[in-house]
Amino acid sequence: MAAVGTVVRSRPPWIMESGCAASGCAVTRCTSPTAVRAPTAVRAPTAVRFGPVSARGCAASGGAAGPGPYARRVRIDLHTHSTASDGTDTPAELVRQAKAAGLDVVALTDHDTAAGWAEAAAALPAGLTLVPGTEFSCAWFGPNGVRIGLHLLGYLYDPDDAELQAERRRLRESRRGRGQAIVNNLRADGIPVTWERVAELAGDGTVGRPHIGQALVEAGVVDSLDEAFADLLSSRSKYYVRKADMDVFVALRLINAAGGVTAFAHPLARRRGPVVGDEVIADMAAAGLDGIEVDHPDHSFADRAHISDVAANLGLIPLGSSDYHGRNKAVRLGACTTSPEAYADLLARNTASSPIVFTT
């Protein structure tokens, strides 16, 4: 059975499964052996000691604890999707997969919903810590009508906060109407896809373009989701319809007010559309942004180096995450990871709840 973190509105207790307090590697291809001694019980953040982490996010050693009989690497993935939105693993399957993939900590961050949290918590395997989160659909509104869509991760916020709950509902409802509108546009050009099938594929989850992509693959229109996103479902396609977004500064305020911590997801994922400049990231930092994804599958190594510098200059916590979507994307759980030091920094911020650990 898993214990759901209670709403305490204070510095969270440092709760982690055995052996998680040590340096890790935030660079996907890094192979430096990060070793820790396990197990370690509940620890206070101030008691945690980490080895040096280089500017590129690679730790050379495990800090105070050297390799020993329990030595192993700590792996933290703070951005994943389940069937509560556009992933293909149910929340229960996702935590089991996370355990099988050797993760110590996984965040469930479905689009515009907290619906998967309870199922993931109930199925949490021993040795895995769950960080409940949400990936919020946001936009930055600049001068002269400029609007750039972006994604903001919110972790450990109070899911019952009424204002944020209403926003999540508004965003999800908009996604349904927008999904139908994209399907109508495709159908108007004779492309054989039905809203009924898309809705069936989405089930109770937040509707996203990957569901339409699955329907297009099933109908034989394209061979893969990548092919669908490269053309028919691209944000530059004539069939594309925008979804509703929260103003990113409103989102930062609401998530913070609900006791959450925030991170800017894949800030340089240009493949998806235009991205904001560094000055906007600075404004977001000034408005309370806590962290930023440095290591993400959609970032080149030059992007990672740049965002790493931006993060250091602005005092943002550098994160690494897979953005796993199950079979909807080729990326694996833990493909990019967050260092335990960055994770500790994130948890040291005030949060409404604590990460969830398996308890007996």
Kindly list the residues in this chain that would bind Zn ion in the complex (CB under 5 A).
81, 86
Query: 284 is written with which tokens?
Result: 């977001």
In the complex, least distance from residue 144 CB atom to ligand AMP, rounded to whole angstroms? 24
Query: 201 is written with which tokens?
Result: 């594929």
Whichever of 86 and 245 has its CB closer to Zn ion, that residue is: 86
Whichever of 12 and 213 has its CB closer to Zn ion, that residue is: 213
String of contacts with ligand AMP for each residue 51-90, x by CB under 6 A: -----------------------------------x----
Q: Are 116 and 134 in contact (CB under 8 A)?
A: no
Q: Is 113 in the site for ligand AMP (CB under 6 A)?
A: no
Whichever of 159 and 210 has its CB closer to ligand AMP, that residue is: 210
Whichever of 68 and 273 has its CB closer to ligand AMP, that residue is: 273
- When binding is defined by CB under 6 A, the residue of 214, 328, 337, 339 that contacts ligand AMP is 328
How far is it, in rounded angstroms, from Cα 268 to Cα 296? 9
In the complex, least distance from residue 72 CB atom to ligand AMP, rounded to whole angstroms? 30
Looking only at residues 266 through 325 of this chain, which bind ligand AMP when binding is defined by CB under 6 A?
325
Strand partners, 295: 320
Query: 292 is written with which tokens?
Result: 């930023």
Q: Are 222 and 100 in contact (CB under 8 A)?
A: no
Q: Is 210 in the site for ligand AMP (CB under 6 A)?
A: yes
String of contacts with Fe ion for each residue 120-159, x by CB under 5 A: ---------------x---------------x--------
Q: How do beta strands 129-141 and 105-111 pair?
A: parallel
Helix/strand/coil for 77: strand
- Residue found under tokens 């008691």: 47
Give which of Zn ion, ligand AMP, Fe ion, none residue 319 binds (C-beta under 5 to 8 Å, depending on kind): none
Q: Is 226 in the site for ligand AMP (CB under 6 A)?
A: yes
In the complex, least distance from residue 272 CB atom to Fe ion, rounded to whole angstroms? 8
Stretch binding Fe ion (CB under 5 A), from 61-69, 223-231, 261-269, 298-306 = 261-269
Q: b/e map of 65-97 (b: 16 or more CB within 10 Å)?
A: beeeeebbbbbbbbbbbbbbbbbbbbbbbbbbb
Stretch binding ligand AMP (CB under 6 A), from 27-35, 42-50, 154-162, 222-230 = 222-230
Give which of ligand AMP, Zn ion, Fe ion, none residue 158 binds (C-beta under 5 to 8 Å, depending on kind): none
Query: 154 is written with which tokens?
Result: 């919110």
Strand partners, 358: 2
Q: How do beta strands 246-247 and 261-265 pair?
A: unpaired
Stretch binding ligand AMP (CB under 6 A), from 23-31, 58-66, 187-195, 224-232 = 224-232
Nearest to 196 by CA among 111, 188, 185, 184: 184
- Distances in Å between the alpha carbon of 103 and those of 10, 17, 60, 275, 345? 27, 11, 19, 30, 19
Whichever of 175 and 349 has its CB closer to ligand AMP, that residue is: 175
Strand partners, 80: 324
Q: Which residues bind ligand AMP (CB under 6 A)?
A: 86, 111, 208-210, 225-226, 229, 325, 328-329
Q: Which residues bind Fe ion (CB under 5 A)?
A: 135, 151, 265, 323
